[in-house]
Homo-oligomer: A and B are copies of this chain.
Amino acid sequence: MRLAVVPGDGIGPEVVGEALKVLGEVAPQIESTHYDLGAARWHSTGELLPESVLTELREHDAILLGAVGDPSVPSGILERGLLLRLRFELDHHVNLRPARLYPGVRGPLSAQPEIDLVVVREGTEGPYAGTGGLLRKDTPQEIATEVSVNTAFGVERVVRDAFDRASKRERRKLTLVHKTNVLTHAGSLWSRVVEEVSLEHPEVSVDYQHVDSTTIHLVTDPSRYDVIVTDNLFGDILTDLAAAVTGGIGLAASGNLDVSRANPSMFEPVHGSAPDIAGKGIADPTAAVLSVALLLDHLGEPELARRVEAAVAFDLATRDHQNPGGTHAVGDRLAALVSS
């Protein structure tokens, strides 16, 4: 097993360090190679993702990424040129984002409902396609367009994945989230695909909800969701909200999967590089550690994945949430727990 590690910017290297510590305990046989992509490299060489690095990354079984983005770099450069480029080049069409309210974690909702959902976010098209442009820039007649591109191919494969996951879960429920009443073209394609694939999965109950209304239910009745399947942008928005209601972005993990396995999948915390707290040793590495659990699952090591999750669950149930300890302390506790 060969793992490529892209620590990235801000708190990325800090949380990745702890994630690797935990991984080293459960799977010492995994060899890892570090790649210094991110703001620093861009500043010193102008490079974002050189072809040679991309070629090397492809030779790994998986990628662990910390975070990408820095205030010293104009918005979009690192995101489009590095993070999204990786997701697109490596055909990460399933962006998997579980959200669970762990026992012991007090979320911001007074009801403290049970939450255990997973968002299957499309990862390689939609409004993220990058198709669009500026016409008559800097004139009063300027027009900026963004084109959301949705293909039957792209929608079907992510919808199939979502049904497969729903089918294996206890509640077997799938909710398509879109905005079909306004984005009628894309909405029509998504709805038809869900309807067709649902015929092959009579065991899964299916419903539909508009994205605006989903934000309401995520704060008033999040227990209703099991598997949500949605497009790239709605998935981006909803998974931050889902992370917030389950105790924060410090706990939210994600997997960018090429389900066909033609390319290595990539695992990363949902949080960003958090430049405001970088270098202070206070970032919570839990999301990065949970991303390692997703990675182990993907590599066919579900038992190791469960061990990592159990360690996190135990730590969250017992930690002093006012005073959880710094990045290293949390990582040390989790590493000790997985090896015990």
Q: How many copies of the polypeptide does the oligomer hold?
A: 2
- Look across to chain B and name the residue whose beta carbon is closest to the beta carbon of A128: B182
A141 interfacial by beta-carbon distance below 8 Å:
yes
A241 on the B face (CB < 8 A): yes
A7-15, A22-30, A105-113, A291-299: which lies at the interface: A105-113
* A298-335 with Cβ < 8 A to chain B: none
Q: How far is the CB of A288 from chain B (nearest CB, A)?
A: 18
- Are B182 and A134 in contact (CB-based, < 8 A)? no
Q: How far is the CA of A25 from the CA of B314 in the complex (A)?
A: 61
Pair B80/A184 contact, Cβ less than 8 Å: yes
Q: Is the pair A148, B134 in contact by a Cβ cutoff of 8 Å?
A: no
Interface residues of A in 42-100 (CB under 8 A from B): 69, 75-76, 79-80, 84
- Check if A161 is an interface residue, CB within 8 A of chain B: no
Q: Is the CB of A142 within 8 A of B148?
A: no
Binds B, one of A162-170, A244-252, A259-267, A278-286: A244-252
C-beta contact mask, A124-165 vs B, less than 8 Å → 1, else 0?
A: 000110101110001111111111111111000000000000
A79, A130, A189, A212 pick with most chain B CB within 10 angstroms: A212
> Would you give the 0/1 interface string for A109-127, flagging 1 where the beta carbon is closer than 8 Å to chain B?
1110000000000000001
Given contacts A133-B185, A139-B152, is CB(A108)–CB(B144) below 8 Å?
A: no
Pair A237/B220 contact, Cβ less than 8 Å: no
Q: Does A36 contact B (CB under 8 A)?
A: no
Q: Please give, as numbers and ranges, the residues of chain B lying within 8 Å of A237 by CB-CB distance.
A: 211-212, 215, 237
The distance in angstroms between the C-alpha atoms of A313 and B150, with both chains bound, is 46
Return 30 A-B CB contacts under 8 Å, by A number.
A75-B181, A75-B184, A76-B180, A80-B181, A108-B110, A108-B111, A108-B219, A109-B109, A127-B127, A127-B146, A127-B182, A128-B182, A130-B184, A132-B148, A132-B186, A134-B188, A142-B189, A143-B150, A144-B150, A145-B185, A146-B148, A146-B183, A146-B186, A147-B148, A212-B236, A212-B237, A212-B240, A212-B241, A215-B244, A216-B244
Complex CA gap A245/B243 in Å reads 16
Chain A interface category by residue count: 35 or more
A323–chain B nearest beta-carbon distance, Å: 19
Tell me if A40 is interfacial: C-beta within 8 Å of chain B. Answer: no
> 8 shortest A-B CB distances, which residue pairs?
A110-B110, A142-B152, A212-B240, A215-B241, A144-B189, A79-B181, A76-B184, A146-B148
Q: Is the CB of B148 within 8 A of A127?
A: yes
Cβ of A179 under 8 Å from chain B: yes
Residues 210-237 of A, flagged 1 when their CB comes within 8 A of B and 0 if not, give: 0111011001100000000000010011
Q: What is the bound-complex CA distance between A216 and B245, given in angstroms?
A: 8
Provide the residues of chain B in CB contact with A213, threshold 8 Å: 240, 272
Please measure, in the bound complex, the distance between the C-alpha atom of A76 and the C-alpha atom of B108, giving whole angstroms: 34
A133 → B minimal CB distance (Å): 6
In the assembly, what is the distance between CA of A189 and CA of B213, in Å?
28
Which B residues are in CB contact (< 8 Å) with A110?
106, 108-110
